[in-house]
């Protein structure tokens, strides 16, 4: 996870990225460490509009969407399982 302003950035494998980009899977599930989780919560508390950028690990192509929901799904070995859903938009 990387943060730039009001945007969080994740990388996604090509088979998942394609589904995400085409809006067949408008969400991602991530396992965050405590520092990443705290940073994400901090952004949620101060940003009116939070964005997510998903980058293809092979092609480096990316897309950006507005985040609609962030949910903590559980904890696993001291890490946080997070679901992030975004608004469906027309593909660029």
pLDDT at 53 (0 to 100): 98
pLDDT tens track for 35-80? 999 999 999 889 889 999 999 999 999 999 999 999 999 998 899 9
Token pair, residue 65, equals 């969407």
What structural domains does the chain harbor? 2-86 (2.30.130.30)
CA proximity to 43, closest of 81, 7, 2:
7
pLDDT at 92 > cutoff 80:
no
Query: How many whole angstroms separate alpha carbon 50 and alpha carbon 6?
Result: 5
As a whole number, mean pLDDT of residues 17-29 equals 95
pLDDT at 91 (0 to 100): 55
pLDDT at 30 > cutoff 60:
yes
């Amino acid at each position: 996870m990387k943060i730039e302003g009001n945007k969080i950035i994740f990388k996604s494998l090509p088979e998942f990225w394609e589904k995400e980009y085409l809006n067949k899977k408008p969400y991602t599930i991530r396992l965050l460490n405590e520092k990443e989780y705290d940073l994400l919560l901090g952004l949620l508390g101060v940003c009116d509009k939070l964005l997510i950028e998903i980058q293809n690990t092979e092609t480096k192509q990316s897309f950006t969407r507005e985040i609609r929901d962030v949910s903590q799904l559980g904890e696993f070995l001291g890490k946080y399982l997070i679901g992030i859903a975004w608004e469906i938009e027309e593909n660029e």
